[in-house]
């Protein structure tokens, strides 16, 4: 069911957005060559505890997950692009890391993701990351009342296709509110003018993710991590936004 939030409820969601943005910034700062992925999860866990927040991942067990996730942040490295389950791995120079984090504050959820390179970066990785960021911006710009979900999807796809990337639509954006995943689904490719109409009060996560040379993925043996079928690298950018009478509100905006 698609739910619309009142202006007062959207204001109540701001603390969750600020918290998620802050946790991503802090864990990204801690992600250096030699940092263990389990340490990043511990940092996020400590921040959740100290803020009195609630993890959206810890006991999360959807149909596509082999078991409850069991961690509080997704850490996807190189050919892993989504749902990366933190494990005993130390980051190496040049690793492309995606951090995806969702949590609830006072019963409201926010969801966001960032990709970056640890240490020295390849030009190909920087281009891929930049494309996801620009696609996210394009999707947000299209998130206006009177438009439809397809307008967001088409805006994202236009950026990706201009750079020669193909698009997987199995996983994409989604409604956000009292739970992490709700309706409507917001695919990263679609036709403008189609889909659910965007109305003030709709809160969604927009999340372009692309792989360097494929749009095919498979699930790792851990039952969660999604990897590219050909071993190429992936990047992912995500914000939770609220549709208003004017420009959208980016609830998970990060300072700087």
Known binding-site positions for a divalent metal cation: 100, 111, 174, 207, 238
Please state the residue numbers annotated as binding site: 83, 100, 111, 174, 181, 207, 238
Which run of H or of E encompasses 133? helix 123-141
Buried b (16+ CB within 10 A) or exposed e, 68-97: ebebbbbbbbbbbbbbbbbeeeebeeebbb
How far, in Å, CA of 121 to CA of 95, rounded? 8
**Nearest to 108, CA basis, from 30, 190, 203, 194:** 203
Contact 94, 119 (CB under 8 A): yes
Helix (H, G, I), strand (E, B) or coil at 104: strand
Please state the residue numbers annotated as binding site for substrate: 83, 181
How far, in Å, CA of 22 to CA of 28, rounded? 10
How far, in Å, CA of 240 to CA of 110, rounded? 6
Euclidean distance between the first and the last CA atom of the chain, given in angstroms as a whole number: 35
Q: Where are the beta strands (DSSP E) in 51-208?
A: 54-55, 74-77, 80-82, 96-105, 108-117, 173-175, 182-186, 203-206
């Amino acid at each position: 069911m698609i739910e619309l939030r009142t202006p007062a409820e959207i204001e109540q969601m701001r603390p969750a957005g600020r918290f998620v943005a802050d946790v991503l910034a802090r864990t990204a700062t801690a992600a250096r060559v030699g940092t263990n992925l389990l340490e990043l999860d511990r940092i996020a866990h400590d921040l959740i505890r100290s803020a009195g927040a609630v993890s959206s991942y810890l006991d999360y067990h959807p149909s596509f997950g082999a078991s409850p996730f069991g961690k509080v942040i997704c850490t996807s490295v190189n050919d892993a692009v989504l749902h990366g389950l933190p494990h005993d791995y130390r980051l190496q120079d040049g690793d492309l890391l995606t951090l995806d984090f969702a949590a609830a504050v006072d019963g409201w959820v926010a969801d966001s993701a960032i990709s970056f390179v640890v240490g020295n970066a390849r030009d190909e990785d920087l281009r891929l990351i930049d494309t996801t960021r620009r696609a996210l911006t394009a999707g947000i710009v299209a998130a206006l009342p009177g438009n439809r979900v397809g307008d967001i999807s088409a805006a994202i796809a236009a950026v990706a296709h201009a750079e020669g990337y193909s698009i997987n639509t199995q996983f994409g954006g989604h409604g956000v509110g009292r739970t992490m995943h709700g309706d409507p689904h917001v695919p990263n490719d679609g036709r403008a003018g189609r889909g659910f109409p965007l109305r003030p009060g709709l809160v969604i996560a927009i999340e372009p993710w692309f792989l360097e040379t494929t749009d095919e993925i498979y699930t790792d043996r851990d039952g969660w991590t999604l990897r590219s079928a050909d071993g190429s690298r992936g990047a992912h950018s995500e914000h939770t936004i609220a549709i208003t009478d004017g420009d959208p509100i980016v609830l998970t905006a990060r300072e700087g």
